[in-house]
Each structure stands twice: as structure tokens, then as C-alpha cells.
Structure 1
Amino acid sequence: MARLVESRAIDVLCLQEIKARPDHVPTAALAEMGLVHQALHTMPGYNGVGIFSRLPLEDSTPFDWCDRVDCRHLRTRVAGFTLHCLYIPAGGDIPDPEENPRFRHKLAFFDALTDWFDRTLDPDMPAMVVGDFNVAPLETDVWDHRKMRGVVSHTPVEVAKLGALQASGPWIDAMRRFVPPEEKLFTWWSYRAKDWRLTNRGRRLDHIWVTPALVDRLRGLEVMDDTRDWTPPSDHVPVIVHIDPPTKG
């Protein structure tokens, strides 16, 4: 993490799947890196999200959905916009809500969040949602659309649920503002691949969305796939979006 923060002089760092009690998160070390403003919503062993920033955070609020306290959603205000850090359930291996409670929960989570954004989000206000959404929606977001259609993360029902969530903003896919939809774009490669670069069986599970009011501040995107070779590696790679500071007036 230190290597990431220092190599890119990151202003705001959003983490998902922290899997630790708040007192086990290296908050002091992150503060020493300059990320002195911090918000956490975590639990031992599972899930967990966090926002760490050089810039002041305001009104940091945790949310839980589907009558579960599972620490998957954190909202704050930073740099003139509302920021949501989100970790959507993976959903297990069986794409059937009747046979697989984890998949059923994933679909219900989408429904609850979609309804909430639809009722509360003002698209005229600048906002961003980032995180591990555990869905690769486009055909170019997976290594093989035909083979992946029956695999959790790219099934038609998940793609439809993610589409409904995006429409609730309406949210704009910031990553696809810089990489055309017809081009392959991945952020995750399985640990099972002996040579992940050679096989390149990736998926785009990590996303950055913005409201129309924030689009004009977008300036660049970086998918740090080189970090997949770092030791120890993560199956996810960092995604960085560059935005202009708020205008003064």
C-alpha cells in the first residue's frame, strides 16, 4: 500500500474488503503517508471499506443494506463532491438465487441500493461511487463473453441489476470515458492462472462512476495492471481517476 500511495502521490485512497477490526487497520501508517483524514466501516474477517485522504473528509457515514451489518458501503464529502466507497457481494459460484443464498443476497443488495439512489441522489450535484462491484457488464469487460455468460459476475441477471443501479443516478461510467467500450478493459485476474499476462483471462470488476455534474472535472484514468506482479500480489489492481479540483466562485 505504501508503494502505491508513494508512487502516485494519491490524494484519496478507497479500499474494499479490508477484513479487519478498526483497531487492526494501519491507520497510523497511512497517516504518516499523508492520508491523515480517515473514515472506516469494517468488521473482523469479512468485507470492510475505508477512505483515506490528504484532503478533509466531511459527514462520513456508514450504510448497511438488506438488514445485515456487513460493512460494504461508506459515504463522505471530499474535494467538493460526495464520494461513495462500495463493496458489492461477490455472490458465490452458483448463479441461481434459489440454490445459492449468497447469489440471492447479491441481487437483493443491488435492488436495495438502486432504490435508495433512485430516491435520494441528486444528479445535479457532483458525486462519485467507486469500488469492487463484482460485475463485469460489457462483453469487452471479460476475456470471453460466450464462456463467461454462465459465470457469476457476468450473468445476464447481474448485468441487468448493475444497469439498473447505474440508471438510478444516472451514473456515468468514468472508466469508459477514457477507454472506448469496444476495447478490452480488465481490473481482475484470477490467482489460478500460472501466467496471468499470457492467458489474460481478466474481468473488469472494479468501477468508478460519476454523476453528470462531475464529468467535466474528469482528466484521466490509470489501471495499474503492473501491480499484479508485485509481491505479494492482489487479484485486483488499483484504478486511479484524475479529477480537477472544484472551481472557486
Structure 2
Amino acid sequence: MYLVIVLGNLLIILAVSSDSHHHTTMYFFLCNLSLVDIFLISTMVPKMIVDILTHSRGISFVGCLTQMSFLILSGCMDGMLLAVMAYDRFVAICHPLHYSVIMNPRLCVLLVVVSFLFSLLDSQLHNLVALRSTHFKDVEISNFFCNPSQVLNLACSETFTNNIIKYFVGAMSGFLPISGIFFSYCKIISSFLRISSTGGKYKAFSTCGSHLSVVCLFYGTGIGVYLGSAVSQSPRKEAVASVMYTVVSPMLNPFIYSLRNRDIKSSLRRIHSRSV
């Protein structure tokens, strides 16, 4: 599964970069999303493979915080990029004549940089809460990686303050991108209903279908993990939900975008024909 995720996302990046027709705003964001997915899965699966081979599940306190920091950074960046891509689709459908002016290269780079800085701030705030707690020894976490919710629940000091910070940061990192996606799709649906021709409706839906599928998969599993760790008492269910969020979701993204995108498929065919 790890190889499928890495190779699938690298193929998307290769297909986009090798074809000048794909040097557009939508594919620029798609390449960044693929890079973040590779980074997300690489924060935990290599360590898990080593644990399986060595029959050891141990990780140091610093290693746990480092893994948690990179996990939050890449996960939050994933959500922010999905919100940016939703805004891109909103401009393309609702303001097609002004699309090239609004979504200029400078704005696109700025949106990616802001997404990264916001994600970095979110991850460091989570680490700050964890660092304020007592250093633990021989503590078991019922997961295959340092789940932020489970790690922060181990805090032994000032639990009330830690919970306030934890849920505030979690709400902000989830609320902002979800609000952006919701607003964009409300506007898209409103424009979609005003389209009279069937061909126009199909074209508008086809540009959003892949993105909407990835959004539902990413946030559906993510919310399940975050809420499940707070209310569920079943370690097995939490681990299964975490696998869906951190492994299955990034693995399916390349298939969703490539199978529903004729341009990507044609580029991959050309790359294959040149290699043969």
C-alpha cells in the first residue's frame, strides 16, 4: 500500500510536469496535494514497517512528538489544499471569464504558502500542549502511530487548559477549510442549477466530481478518527479508522484523480509509450 501511494502520486506529478497543457492552476494544486500525500504516509508507515520487522513497538518521547508534528502538518496541509482547490473550482465555474485574472500564479503560490504556514502553526500548537505535560515512560498508545488525540489525552497537568487549547486548535484547523469548501460548493451548486443545457451541467459536474470524492473520503475518515478517539472505548475501532484516514485515503486519491481525468490518463499513456 505504501508503494502504491508513493508511485501513484509520483506518476501524477510526472504526468502533470511532463505535459505543458497541464501547467494550469488546477494541476498545480493537484501536484502539491500529491506531494503532501506522500509526506503524510511517509511520517508513519516506514516506522510501522520497521516495528513489524524488529517486533518492537517502542518510540522515544522526542520521536513521538516529531512524528505527531509532521502528521498534523501534512494532515492540516491536505485539508487546506482541498479548500484551496474548492475555491479554484468555484472561480472556474462561477467566474469563468475572470478566472485567469483572479487565479494568477502569484495568488496560487501565496495560497499554498499560507496553507503551509497555517498548518505549521497548528502542528506546533499541538506540540506545545504535549510538551507542557509530564514526560512519560512505558506508556502504551492503542494505535500504530502517535495519534495526536491519544497523546494529548495523556497529559497529567492542567488537563482543563490542555483540553481547551486542544479542541480550539482542532476546531480551527478543521473549521476553516471545511467552511471554505462548504461556501465554494454552495456557490457552485447555485450556478449549477442555473445552467440550462445538459452538456453544461455535465461539464460543470465533471470538473468537481473528483475533488468532491476526495473531500468526502478525507474528511469522513478524519472526523471519524478525531471524534472516535474522544468517545470510543474500542482501541481496534480507533486503529481501523486511523488506517482509513492515514493510509487508505491517500492511496485512493491518485486513482480518483487519474481514472476520472482524461488529460491525466492520456499523459500517462504518452509517458508509457515513450518508455516502451
The answer to whether TM tops 0.5 is no
Structure with the largest fraction of helix = 2
Structure 1-normalised TM-score?
A: 0.30
Structure exhibiting the larger radius of gyration computed from Cα positions = 2
Structure 1 or 2: more strand by fraction:
1
Higher RCO (CA-CA < 8 Å; seq separation 6+) = 2
**TM-score normalised to structure 2 length:** 0.28
